[in-house]
Homo-oligomer: A and B are copies of this chain.
């Protein structure tokens, strides 16, 4: 199973649920049209250039339904060209046809994420900045989507509300000030979690640094302002640029020396990669 995502049984339970959603009480078409004992060979092929992610997840969509042999031609993270074969499958034709749609839905979506992430990562090549994701993922698919970000060369921000502290504008408003919010977080957090705080301008940045914030998210700042922030912080805290950064502007942000650039669009507005399953 895919290394460092989830325990094996966890991904399996997820895929079982996805298969049930699609299959319901049975694949009426295949049952009626394809005899039980017919075997088939098929391949999944790319119809456009892409970075592939999710090959092992796709495999489960078939192997949970029947015994198939599975011969992958590319590993997760590989770039493929249009026409490339991603995997060859051999097994009961019913299994192949019934699992097809769920497998493609997952593989197309995860590859879409990996491909977009890769384009951001390539755009900042040569700089030490990390491209990171956000919590703007599809409900129910976060672990898989964050895996696809890593496959595309990105890094993961916190996985949820429990494995990272990120104080946002609404938290600051509730606490009264950046200083008070950061102070409360430093006092209360489990000691293994850093305190990160979102700031809107350089005054708030100064306040955050003075209060002891260990990471600071620069919200919706221009590259110039980010540069100024980097200078002002002087390495005393990790700096993350976030908000409205696109493939066109990301390189400019990277040049500022900021440590991290987070991009919600990696997961919230995914274009599925065009893949198809062809029975030989």
- List residues of A whose CB falls within 8 A of some B CB: 3-10, 14, 16-34, 36, 38, 40, 42, 64-65, 93, 97-98, 100-102, 104-106, 108-109, 112, 130, 132, 135-143, 155-168, 170-171, 173-175, 181, 184-185, 187-194, 196, 215, 238, 240, 259-260, 268-272, 277, 279
Contact = CB atoms under 8 A, between A and B. Distances in A.
A22 to B, nearest CB: 5
A109 B97 contact: no
B64 A7 contact: yes
Given A22-B161, A28-B161, A193-B194, 4 more contacts: A3-B36, A28-B193, A191-B194, A192-B215
B19 A189 contact: no
14 contacts: A6-B25, A21-B139, A22-B161, A28-B163, A28-B164, A28-B165, A31-B188, A32-B188, A33-B175, A40-B174, A104-B136, A105-B268, A163-B193, A193-B194
B156 A138 contact: no
A139 B141 contact: yes
Nearest to A100: B170
A199 to B, nearest CB: 15
B10 A20 contact: yes
Contact of A139 (B38, B106, B137): B106
B22 A142 contact: yes
Contacts of A5: 26
A93 B174 CA distance: 8
Contacts of A140: 14, 17-18, 21, 138-141
A136 B4 CA distance: 23
Nearest to A23: B161
Nearest to A165: B29
Contacts of A137: 105
A19 to B, nearest CB: 7
A238 B192 CA distance: 10
B163 A192 contact: yes
A97 B165 contact: no
A33 B184 contact: yes
B24 A160 contact: yes
